[in-house]
C-alpha cells in the first residue's frame, strides 16, 4: 500500500501545501543522502555506499550517528512492504555483529580520511569508545 505524505510551507500564519512531484530514482536519492544525510532529520556520517554484505546483497548507505550507532539507509521504490522488511531485517542483523575494527575498515574504503577525523569533522567530538 503506497504512503502519501504532504509537505507544507508555513509563511506567517498561513500553511501552504507544496505541490507533489515524482520521486527521483533510488540512485539520485542515494546521491542526495550521501552528500547531506541531515535530510533525514539527524546528523549522520555516511561511512559506506553500496556495501556488499556476506550474503551478496548491497546496503545502499551505512552511516554512524553522534553516539556511534550504525544506521542502515535502504531506499526502495515499487517494492512490497514484506520484501522491504525482510531485507532490512537481514541487514540489521548483520550490522549488529560488526565490531569497531570492521566498521573502521569499511569506513576506510569509503571515506577520503580516517574514520576518527571524519567523525570529529561531522560531530565536533571524537568517536565514542
> 97-111: per-residue pLDDT in tens?
999 999 999 999 999
Q: pLDDT at position 2, please?
A: 61
β-pairing, 70-73 with 45-52?
unpaired
Q: Are 94 and 86 in contact (CB under 8 A)?
A: no
Domain boundaries, the chain: 24-123
Backbone angle region of 77, left / alpha / beta, with phi > 0 → left and psi within -120 to 50 → alpha: beta
**Which residues of the chain are modeled with pLDDT < 70?**
1-3
pLDDT of residue 121: 95
CA separation for the pair 6, 4 (Å, rounded) = 7
Yes or no: is domain 24-123 CATH 1.10.10?
A: no
pLDDT value for 47: 97
Amino acid at each position: 500500500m503506497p504512503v502519501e505524505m504532504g509537505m507544507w510551507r508555513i509563511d506567517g500564519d498561513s500553511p501552504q501545501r507544496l505541490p507533489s512531484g515524482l520521486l527521483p530514482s533510488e540512485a539520485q536519492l542515494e546521491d542526495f543522502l550521501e552528500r547531506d544525510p541531515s535530510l533525514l532529520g539527524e546528523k549522520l556520517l555516511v561511512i559506506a555506499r553500496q556495501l556488499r554484505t556476506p550474503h551478496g546483497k548491497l546496503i545502499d548507505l551505512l552511516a554512524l550517528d553522534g553516539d556511534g550507532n550504525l544506521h542502515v539507509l535502504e531506499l526502495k521504490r515499487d517494492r512490497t512492504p514484506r520484501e522491504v522488511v525482510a531485507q532490512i531485517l537481514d541487514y540489521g542483523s548483520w550490522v549488529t555483529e560488526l565490531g569497531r575494527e570492521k566498521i573502521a575498515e569499511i569506513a576506510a574504503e569509503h571515506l577520503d580520511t580516517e574514520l576518527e577525523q571524519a567523525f570529529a569533522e561531522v560531530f565536533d567530538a571524537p568517536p565514542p569508545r
